[in-house]
């Protein structure tokens, strides 16, 4: 990749998500949500969280608190070969 090509992609904004867990619920359960409802996720407390960039998992890590905000500390980068395999390339 040329330096010019690289410069073009460096300013592209990407969406990053950190997923704490997932679950499936019935519509009936969802419409009964109210303030204070607790939803159990299918992930154990203390398990690594997954970080996705544009929908593809790229890292795992842990939740941290910075001042009064939440943050994400990366503890494992998914190998590029594994990320490419997930894309089906």
> Is residue 80 predicted with pLDDT exceeding 70?
yes
Residues 24-73: tens digit of each pLDDT: 999 999 999 999 999 999 888 889 999 999 888 999 999 999 999 999 99
Give the pLDDT band (50/70/90) at residue 7.
confident
Tell which wins on pLDDT, 85 or 36: 36
Please report which residue ranges of the chain form alpha helices under DSSP H: 3-10, 27-31, 80-87
State the distance between the two ends of the chain, measured CA to CA, in whole angstroms.
18
pLDDT at 88: 63
> Is residue 1 predicted with pLDDT exceeding 70?
no
Instruction: Sketch out the chain's domains with CATH numbers.
Output: 10-87 (2.30.330.10)
Residues 9-23: tens digit of each pLDDT: 888 899 999 999 999
CA distances for 62 relative to 40, 56, 75, 87, angstroms: 18, 18, 7, 24
């Amino acid at each position: 990749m040329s330096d010019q090509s690289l410069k073009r992609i460096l300013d592209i904004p990407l969406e990053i998500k950190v997923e704490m867990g997932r679950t499936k619920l019935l519509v009936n359960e969802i419409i009964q949500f109210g303030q204070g409802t607790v939803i159990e996720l299918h992930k154990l407390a203390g398990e690594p969280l997954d970080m996705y960039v544009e929908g593809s998992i790229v890292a795992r890590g842990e939740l941290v608190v910075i001042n009064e905000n939440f943050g994400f500390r990366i503890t494992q980068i998914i190998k590029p070969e594994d990320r490419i395999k997930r894309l089906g390339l």
